[in-house]
Amino acid sequence: MTGKKKAGGAERPGGSPPGDATPPDYSGLLADLKARIGQARMRAALSVNRELVLLCWSIGRDISARQTHGGWGAKVIDRLARDLARDFPGMSGSSARNLKYMRAFAEAWPESQHSLKPNRFRPLRAPRPGPHQFPTHPARRAIRTRPADSEGPLQF
């Protein structure tokens, strides 16, 4: 059972305290609050995700710049990984492998200004194509494009 029990042992639907009358617009307000909370959570998650992507990009850019122009060798990534793990013990993602991925990410996209903006409301999967978007079989194309007065076998 999902409700709370009254003092006499009977259960009230919805779990509201005894004597509380539900206002007529209560369910509308509840639905609105739930939608707003969900939207705020989504905006927060997108914001955090964007900041993490930009952080990884900037770490990779800094490593790449120092290795290219500063004369840093490949071993510096291993040392950075050890030092970051020591200084941020609860943080994951700072392994040498991930730092190399960050460097590759920054080298693949050298400009961060507009190329890293999130594409809002992009569907996770591509929509299913309609029947008009499927490629037509060559036999169907030949039948549709065949002149009415031609005789003989179809040519593909």
Confirm whether 43 is domain-assigned: yes
User: What is the reported pLDDT for 29?
Assistant: 94
Confirm whether 78 is domain-assigned: yes
Confirm whether 145 is domain-assigned: no
The more confident residue out of 95 and 4 is 95
Confirm whether 51 is domain-assigned: yes
* Structural domain for 94, as ranges: 34-114
pLDDT of residue 154 exceeding 50, the answer is no
Confirm whether 63 is domain-assigned: yes
Confirm whether 9 is domain-assigned: no
Chain mean pLDDT for the chain: 76
The H-assigned helical ranges of the chain are 26-69, 75-87, 96-108, 138-145
Within a 13 Å sphere around the CA of 110, how many CA atoms are in the beta-carbon half?
Answer: 3
The more confident residue out of 2 and 99 is 99
Mean pLDDT of 104-122: 67
Within 10 A of 106 (CB to CB), how many other CB atoms are there? 20
Confirm whether 25 is domain-assigned: no
Q: 54, 47, 58, 55: which is closest to 120 by C-alpha?
A: 47
What pLDDT, in 10s, does the model give residues 60-84? 999 999 999 888 888 999 999 999 9
What pLDDT, in 10s, does the model give residues 16-62? 566 678 888 999 999 999 999 999 999 999 999 999 999 999 999 99
What sign does the CA torsion over 22, 28, 33, 35 have? positive
Q: Domains in the chain: how many in total?
A: 1
User: What is the reported pLDDT for 74?
Assistant: 84
Confirm whether 156 is domain-assigned: no
The more confident residue out of 82 and 123 is 82
CB burial string 53-79: b at 16+ within 10 A, e below: eeebbebbbebbeeeeeeebeeeebee
